[in-house]
């Protein structure tokens, strides 16, 4: 599997993603946002960070970068795209995923581990989570409060396009287990073809027992399995 990590001014999780991909022997190339075409690639990763200092709206300026046009072409051909944190915000601003990410309900930057229930295990990113569907991953964001109108939410629920929901240790999905006020406790969603995943938690940060866990590894193993 070949992958491309897109680097924007202000990206800061690009190298963490590269370390994770290396660990699972997924070859990768760093691609600067000013490039106009992607190298030959199966998977595009938009990493976390603060692209363009979050000017105007989070992910907004990055979504107008020259490379985005080719990423949209890649998406239309069914190529895989994973957007993590700021990457998720960019995918939304680029109209590749529906809804919007608002400021956290309590107006605070959140940096902590949360529990997630893997709702859809039948996609390229999550196949391996069928062994364990309540996982723990870190979040680190100020704008992660997923919001969409009822029609969009209904479509996501009805078509099984929600990949992850915030929950507690036992898997209960409720207000108390919702860290940022997201509609329906949504932490990650898929597009209708399930080749694009946007998520606020950081799988690349939990790939080593020495770094407190391996729940993120399952996503990279899933990607390897899916090719």
Partner 1 sequence: MKKEVLDPQGKVVSQTLKNMGYKNIINVRQGKYFQIELNETNKEKAKKIVEEISKKLLTNIVIEDYTINLE
The yes-or-no answer on residue 126 being catalytic is: no
Distance of alpha carbon 12 from the chain centroid: 15
Q: Does 15 bind partner 1 (CB under 8 A)?
A: no
The yes-or-no answer on residue 74 being catalytic is: no
Closest listed residue to residue 201, CA positions, set 81, 117, 93: 117
Specify whether the CB–CB gap between 182 and 146 falls below 8 A. Answer: yes
- 125 Cβ neighbours under 8 A, 6+ residues apart: 80, 82, 163, 190, 197, 219, 222, 223, 226
The yes-or-no answer on residue 124 being catalytic is: no
Q: Does 61 bind partner 1 (CB under 8 A)?
A: yes
Q: Does 55 bind partner 1 (CB under 8 A)?
A: yes
Instruction: Sketch the per residue contact string, 162 through 201, with partner 1: x for CB under 8 A, - otherwise.
Output: ----------------------------------------
- In the complex with partner 1, the residue whose CB is nearer, 10 or 181, is 10
Q: Compute the chain's Rg from CA coordinates.
A: 16
| Residue choice 64, 102, 142, 184 for contact with partner 1 (CB under 8 A) | 64
Q: Does 32 bind partner 1 (CB under 8 A)?
A: no
Q: Does 109 bind partner 1 (CB under 8 A)?
A: no
Q: Does 56 bind partner 1 (CB under 8 A)?
A: yes
- List, in sequence order, every residue forming a beta bridge with 112; answer none if it has no partner: 139
| Residue choice 8, 50, 52, 220 for contact with partner 1 (CB under 8 A) | 52
Closest listed residue to residue 49, CA positions, set 12, 104, 7, 83: 12
Dist. CA 118–CA 165, nearest whole Å = 7
Of 50-58, 71-79, 108-116, 219-227, the segment contacting partner 1 by CB under 8 A is: 50-58
List residues near partner 1 by CB under 8 A: 52-53, 55-56, 61, 64, 66
């Amino acid at each position: 599997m070949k992958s491309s990590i897109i680097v924007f001014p202000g990206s800061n999780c690009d190298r963490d993603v590269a370390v994770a991909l290396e660990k699972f022997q997924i070859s990768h190339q760093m691609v600067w946002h000013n490039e106009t075409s992607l190298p030959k690639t199966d998977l595009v990763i938009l990493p976390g960070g603060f692209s363009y200092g979050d000017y105007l709206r989070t992910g907004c300026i990055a979504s107008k970068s020259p490379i985005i046009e080719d990423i949209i072409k890649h998406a239309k051909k069914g190529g895989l795209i994973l957007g993590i944190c700021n990457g998720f915000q960019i995918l939304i601003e680029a109209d590749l995923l529906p809804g919007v990410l608002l400021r956290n309900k309590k107006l605070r930057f959140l940096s902590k581990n949360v529990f997630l229930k893997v709702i859809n295990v039948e996609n390229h990113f999550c196949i391996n989570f069928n062994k364990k569907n309540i996982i723990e991953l870190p979040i680190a964001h100020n704008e992660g409060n997923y919001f969409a109108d009822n029609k969009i939410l209904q479509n996501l629920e009805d078509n099984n396009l929600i990949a992850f929901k915030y929950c507690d240790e036992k898997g209960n999905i409720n207000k108390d287990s919702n860290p940022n006020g997201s509609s329906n406790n949504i932490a990650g969603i898929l597009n209708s073809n399930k080749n694009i995943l946007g998520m606020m938690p950081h799988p690349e940060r939990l790939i080593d027992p020495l770094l407190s866990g391996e729940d993120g590894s399952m996503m990279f193993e899933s990607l390897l399995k899916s090719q």
